[in-house]
Structure 1
Amino acid sequence: MSIPNEALQKLVQEIESRAVAAQQQINVVKAQITAKQREVRLLELTSSEISQLPKSTNVYEGVGKMFIAAPMTNVDKRLTGETKGLKSDITNLEKKLHYLETTHKNSREHIEQLFRGGERA
């Protein structure tokens, strides 16, 4: 049984649009992962620098255009919490990236299969 040319063309266009959309989303997710990894590195660097200071050192946190004195333990807890949250976000984004890459790969394979076979019994 042969697929009519119009139906085949419409099917190819639909699969191609899915592949293009998946590729665009892959690029966005990769950029998000990179940005979050950069934030994690910055937080870990800040945390390591703070941990080297004596516990009695005055620590200030930026709030808008001003700085507020904060206990070192609170600052360290905030940094640790933000790092854990970002790592969780990265894990979720990596799962999403894997899904999108699989979708893109499958779309490409379907297009190739349509061009190779064109017919299905």
Structure 2
Amino acid sequence: MPIKRKYQLITIRGVRALVAEGVAFQCRYDLIELTNGKPRYQCIYLAAGKESILISDRVSENGVEPRLFNLWPGLFKHHFEFGDGTDLTFDSDLIITTGELRGRNDVPQGRKR
């Protein structure tokens, strides 16, 4: 499981509201899972000094859960449509940097890559 952190919550509707209101924001993509060499990421929006994790618009029977992205096409499509307009840079350890903001590696220790 990823490291538990306290985040505010944001949906795509919330992101659209940020854009419509002209609020400056940044995106960060944290690596949270590496299964069979396939990375999965969660998206964190940073606006007004607060970190908000992207969640689904709908609540499942398990409650509120973060949206998880595979690299292709999910993360690319999301970033180009709802991202902060910065370039994506990938390091050899699969950490993504957006602009100058480096994502976190929350993959549990001890997992083989």
Fold shared, TM-score > 0.5 on shorter chain: no
TM-score by length of structure 1 reads 0.19
TM-score by length of structure 2 reads 0.20
Structure with more of its chain in helix, by fraction: 1
Higher relative contact order (CA 8 A, sep 6+): 1
Structure with more of its chain in strand, by fraction: 2
